[in-house]
Structure 1
Amino acid sequence: MVDNSELPFRMLCRKYGAEAAYTPMLHSRIFNENPKYRSEEFTTCKEDRPLFVQFCANDPDILLEAARRVESHCDYVDINLGCPQRIARRGYYGAFLMDNLPLVKSLVEKLALNLNVPVSCKIRVFPKLEDTLKYAKMLEDAGCSLLAVHGRTRDEKDGKKFRADWNAIKAVKNELRIPVLANGNIRHMDDVRNCLEEMGADGVLSAETLLENPALFAGFRTSNWVVDNEKDSIDGKLDQADLVVQYLKLCEKYPVPWRMIRSHVHKMLGDWFRVQPQVREELNAQSRLTLEFLYGLVDQLRELGVRVPLHQKDDASATGNLAEVIGI
């Protein structure tokens, strides 16, 4: 996701069980043309592996140029063919390339024939299953080595309103020889287990839920997904403020643009801000952030007696070697 899977956040998710991670979606043309964009939007370190570097594109030559800049720093170069947002419509990339499959095929072939690392793709499903299966098979034949399938259509942008179609993902998995990752409806580890058991997928991705709870893959879940009579009996041992502090410490080590940091603080402290909205307003009023201010914000919430625990209901190790659980 744009602005939401930068290096500090990836490292936080890895600490809590994510076995691989994607960079934010990078615009291939701007990546080639703008050194500042490259230096701010793509940072990594030796511990940041396995790593998928994710690009949007609509020109094979431009995409290859961008991919060659990062191939020595990653394990996969990923083509985002699933972004459904208005900006993707305007820029003609992401899920809006589903209307031009010859172009999609040429993007995959260009990378597969010219890179030293494998090519992966992320897609959304078509309304008709047969169209989805033809699409997935075309990508495999073009040289895609790993396919992530989001079980919603291009028009189903609201994950809370539309449930992902796991049956469509299962059908893709059964159709292809390459690994298939499942995306959609992953809110806690029970969902991970159910997804793997029902579909036989090679891995599971989570995006939106991780923004609120980066410890999902370690078995922690927010109170929204804990049965009421269990809440008092489960020892949380961790809360979202703890995760914010850990994230900020990673930002000290791996500096990133402030807009990214602001976004993560809002997401991870969302439940706390609902209890103390005046603290959220203090954050919103800051035109220029500092780490000292953000550490102080967390201290202020704790002094106000706010605590929103994460509950460790799950045994994350129960997935064993079934598959990888993959972060953003």
Structure 2
Amino acid sequence: MSVAMGNRLNYSNKLILAPMVRIGTLPTRLLALDYGADIVYGEELIDFKMLQCKRVENKILGTVDFVLSSGQPVFRTCARERDRVVFQMGTADPQRAVQVAKLVQNDVAGIDVNMGCPKEFSIKGGMGAALLTKPDKIREILCSLVKESSKPVTCKIRILPKVEDTIQLAKLIESTGVSALAVHGRLRDERPRHKVHCDYIKAVAESVSIPLIANGGSDDIIDSYEGIKKFKEMTGASSVMIAREAQWNPSIFRREGKLEEHEVCKAYVKYAVDYDNPYQNSKYCLQQILHEKMETPQGQALMHSESARDIWKDYSEKTPKSHLIEWCRRKGLPVPHYQTEERLKDRHFKSVVLVDGEKYSSSFWEKSKRFAEQSAAVVCLRSLGVSDGRKEDPHCSQKSLWQIF
């Protein structure tokens, strides 16, 4: 089933990465998509901060960045996720909400309002869970967004003490014209140690006609792909949104089962390097993946790391493509662009890479698209007189940051 219907994101029967502060940055979102997530939510970003940002097309990274005057990127996205990423904002004001939506809507697939976060910062600002008891404000914000935004609008809430009140709130939200509703099945003051109230979510799902996205099943119910299906059945929801289990291991979305943490860390670091993710954020995300293995040598090395160099040398696998990206970045050039041809008679592949206006290609047909792109990168690097980073390359230092694995 296609995730998008025309220009509209379809929220039915989907596996979704939940919005998580510090976790939901670009590398984690791309990793979740690789592992089987259908839709990925970015971390909650506050309207005031976003309105200080300028949209910048980062040709070196191949991204669209929303940056502060200092140059610090607040939100970064790329073409790979454009039809499946939902921007979540924290807001308590309909006018600001609309301004933010118009700022980002051409680069994302949907707009979401956080109406369930119980953290003190959100509550004091009248955002998040503070909105749960302000139905008029909820209506005003959502109606304004639905009317003014070109992308589908959703919101995420927590349950209220009485199931009847939760249903009433859900129906009010549905009446604003939103495309879907996500419900975290815990009260405002409850935390992960409290069991999720599947009965509340189910009651809401039976009371609305828009897709209902169930959230809150991590650890309690969801610890595998089978657990995702169980949570969906228990709640009667249309879709399932996963937070903590995806924070600890983004491969929770894999139908074949979760991958070992070290393998996930390597995959994470590749995206972190390719998209120049901030060191502190990358370290934090890796610590979450290794949360049960922090006493191991790898965990201790990560804990005591002090720079991106320390992290990358332990987890990254440098390839010719990565070397080429890094070289282009140093030269201020756009990221390499690959065009791959398939030979149908034997399903072999050949790639051409475009770098600085020149095309490079190997004369060999490879057994996979991945190998074909790597071969083209090798040809390009050697034509430019640059090391391709492989161990047999005499120009490659034995202390390369990328050769631990």
Structures share fold, TM-score greater than 0.5: yes
Which residue in the other structure is 1:192 paired with? 228
> Is 1:296 aligned to residue 309 of structure 2?
no
Deviations 1:33-55 (A, max 9, x none): 24434962211111203111100
CA distance in 1, matches of 2:312, 2:79: 27
Indicate conservation of the 8 Å contact 1:120/1:146, yes or no. yes
- Structure with larger RCO (C-alpha < 8 A, sep 6+): 1
* Matched-pair contact (CA < 8 Å) for 1:53–1:77: yes
SS in 2 for 1:53: strand
Q: Is the 8 A contact 1:173 1:180 kept in 2?
A: yes
Q: Secondary structure at the match of 2:73?
A: helix
SS at match of 2:179: strand
Distance 2:23 2:263 in 1: 19
Shift of 1:187: 2.7
Is residue 42 from structure 1 mapped to residue 75 from structure 2 by the alignment?
Answer: yes
- Mapped to 1, the partners of 2:167 and 2:117 lie a distance apart of 19
Residues 123-138 of structure 1: matches in 2 within 5 Å?
123-138=157-172
> Residue 305 of structure 2 contacts residue 311 of structure 2 at CA under 8 Å; is this kept in 1?
no
Question: 1:79 Cα deviation (Å)?
Answer: 0.5
Partner-residue secondary structure (3-state), 2:186 = coil
Shift of 1:217: 1.1
3-state secondary structure, aligned to 1:41: strand
Residue 42 (structure 2) aligned to one of 23, 29, 49: 23
The letter of the residue matching 2:238 is D
- Corresponding residue for residue 208 of structure 2: 176
Q: Evaluate the alpha carbon distance shift between residue 220 and residue 265 of structure 1 in structure 2; reply closer, same or farther with a 3 A threshold.
A: farther
CA deviations on 1:78-111 (whole Å, 9 max, x unpaired) are 0011111121122221011112221111110110
Q: Deviations over 1:147-182 (max 9, x none)?
A: 0110001101x21x1111111111111111111110
In 2, Cα distance between equivalents of 1:206 and 1:99: 25
- 1:10 maps to 29
Quote the Cα distance in structure 1 between the aligned partners of 2:238 and 2:72: 33
Contact 2:250 2:264 in 1 (8 A): yes
CA–CA distance in 1 between the matches of 2:75 and 2:311?
24
Secondary structure class of the residue paired with 1:47? helix
TM superposition shift of 1:198: 2.8
SS at match of 1:42: strand
Amino acid paired to 2:197: D
Question: How far apart, CA to CA, are the structure 2 residues paired with 1:87 and 1:259?
Answer: 21
Q: Secondary structure at the match of 2:87?
A: strand
Shift of 1:282: 4.5
* Identity between Structure 1 and Structure 2 (%): 28
Separation in 2, partners of 1:148, 1:121: 6
| RMSD (Å) for aligned C-alpha atoms | 1.9
Matches within 5 A, 1:62-81: 62-81=96-115
Partner SS for 1:162: coil
Shift of 1:195: 2.0
TM-score (norm 2): 0.65
CA–CA distance in 1 between the matches of 2:109 and 2:304? 40
1:205 aligned residue:
241
Secondary structure at the residue paired with 1:265?
Answer: helix
Quick one: structure 1 residues 221 and 162, their matched pair in 2 at CA, closer, same or farther if it must change by over 3 Å?
farther
Please give the secondary structure, in 1, of the residue aligned with 2:112: strand
* Structure (1/2) with the larger helix percentage: 1
Q: Distance in 1 between the 2:163 and 2:189 partners?
A: 15
Amino acid of the residue matched to residue 249 of structure 2? N
Contact 1:95-1:124 at 8 Å conserved across structures: yes
Say which of 164, 167, 184 aligns to 2:199.
Answer: 167
2:30 is matched by which residue type in structure 1?
A: M
Alignment of 1:244-259 (within 5 A): 244-259=265-280
Question: Is the 2:22–2:285 contact (alpha carbons within 8 Å) kept by the matching residues of 1?
Answer: no
Q: Which deviates more, 200-209 or 29-38?
A: 29-38
User: As a proportion of its length, which structure holds more strand?
Assistant: 2
CA distance in 2, matches of 1:295, 1:96: 40
TM-score by length of 1: 0.80
Q: Which of 277, 293, 314 in structure 2 is aligned with 1:272? A: 293
Aligned residues: 278
| Deviating more after overlay: 194-203 vs 118-127 | 194-203
Does structure 2 retain, via aligned residues, the 8 Å contact 1:10–1:21? yes
Report Cα offsets for 1:228-280 as digits up to 9, x if no partner: xxxxxxxxxx421111111111112112222210111111122222334xx54
The structure with more radius of gyration: 2
Q: Which runs of 5+ in 1 are unaligned?
A: 223-237, 300-328
- Asked whether the equivalents of residues 294 and 303 of structure 2 are also in contact (C-alpha less than 8 Å), the reply is no
